[in-house]
Chain A
């Protein structure tokens, strides 16, 4: 048994001291992106590859985690955040190529409920009727979706009415689950989350004019693979990628004049 252990340790040591592979002509891009964008981005990457673009590797996590990693020098090439605050953090730390920062995507809020309660919620939501006893949103203290939800309610003059009935959730998934299990009567989530919900259905879509401005900024992080990063970012803002994003219910914010 000690011999086996020694062998494993030896192999591990040898493995760990192996350095990086030499760079090939088309470098692999590392893109740190918010988890909510996983499926859409992976589709984009696949299409990008068939169009002759290079290999793209994604690092999906919460935007705050991603921002931390980048601020501390983690080797990401591109950063796509779920909210502007985290991008600001990274920008303030001087970690992005400033001229590359763009507003890549938008999103919309939606009110969801179970099919049984849908009709009631749809009618009564705007009046904050007492039949809607509990409302789940992301925790405004922690999650951008929660911040947006709160902004929306405030803007509609509904915050005071709903505040005692709010159930703050650790994340949007939890809010959705709360609705689907009947623990709450309705939830405010992103329309992109509602799209993958199993039982909850969208009761109200909040148009962009009524809702807060939800932006997913993107930026090139380092000069390491600038040309290729720029290539991919441009692709993400192009027509093909926009179609993919739209299919996943994101709002592409294609820029002017690039």
Chain B
């Protein structure tokens, strides 16, 4: 469960988010520049709100006294530009966040996302869809408390989109990690979202189930 109650001011732009996210998949929906990525950054600890609180599973990540650095937040993040480490092969990328003694193993994640055959490849030798799955695997392998995905299918063509969507559904169904998913594509909202927040110019203007919001 994610409690967001913060304000983030950056120049002229003000982002206000006061929401409780308690569904498996919450989608942040809205035009570009509305603050979706900034919200993810704030949860991950890459951007600091001006004031407010961010609490995940009862654990305060940000409040008046505390501002946990990203490496202490247990957040999995797949950014829009993916950012796989260029100097490491796929296996080392995926295993980067693995902590000793955690229950989630490479085999499970690799088979779920079907990247077993890619493990020894260099990162530059992956197709767009493969990169997405590897980035997803990497975020999952750190056994996060919440998974943040920023427009994972934005840079991918229709055909590929059709093929990756099932993986995302699989992640949602087989792992119990809550997901916050940013997109401006209605199809993705329909297929993946349990709840939707519509953002516009820094404010949540609508919220509810996909059917309610999309009609």
User: In the complex, are there CB atoms of A and B closer than 8 Å?
Assistant: no
